[in-house]
Amino acid sequence: MGPRDVRLPVVLSCALAVAGHAQGTHSVPSLAGIPGVEVVVEELSPGLRQLGLSELTLRTDVELRLRRAGIAVVGQAQACDTLPCVYVHVTATIGSSLSAYFVHVGLQQMVSLNANPSATFSVETWHALGRIGLAARSQLADRLVDAVRGEVAQFTNAYHNANARN
């Protein structure tokens, strides 16, 4: 076991703590009435790029899944600072044989304060449960793509539940 492999349990423990802060049904109403979203994929590490993943490939896959689910995708943002934005974060600690990963998908929207409506902020108003896991290095890219797809499926289900009444 190399030094990178020793860090895997630590990364997995941290990811479990973050993923344990799960999405509740209270966040679903924040999806009601949203006419469309942008998609932003956070910059991937060089190690993930060496495995064949790219931000463009992930964004294209997410956009396709959203459109197939009947959710309009508008524009191509670099940051979530205007329209509602599906934000995708993928990270991994790549070991010599085994890798730990974490995938997070959330929806960020601009919100304002009741006390000061001119003060606006980009805030995550909904998030999927999060995906963590271990994978052989040779299977990591496929596992990450599958995890992102699972998170996007949670979003499309929540979006349709929130907008079924409208």
What is the model's pTM? Answer: 0.82
Rounded to 10 deg, the angle between the 55-68 and 140-163 helix axes is 30
What percent of the chain has a predicted confidence (pLDDT) above 90?
Answer: 64
Given a cut of 90, whether residue 127 has pLDDT beyond it is yes
At 132, the amino acid letter reads: I
Over residues 15-53, the pLDDT tens digits come to 444 444 444 445 788 899 999 999 999 999 999 999 999
Judge contact between 127 and 108, C-beta under 8 A.
no
Judge contact between 128 and 23, C-beta under 8 A.
yes
Residue 80: other Cβ atoms inside 10 A: 22
Residues of the domain holding 40? 3-163
Over residues 56-95, the pLDDT tens digits come to 999 999 999 999 999 999 877 666 777 899 999 999 999 9
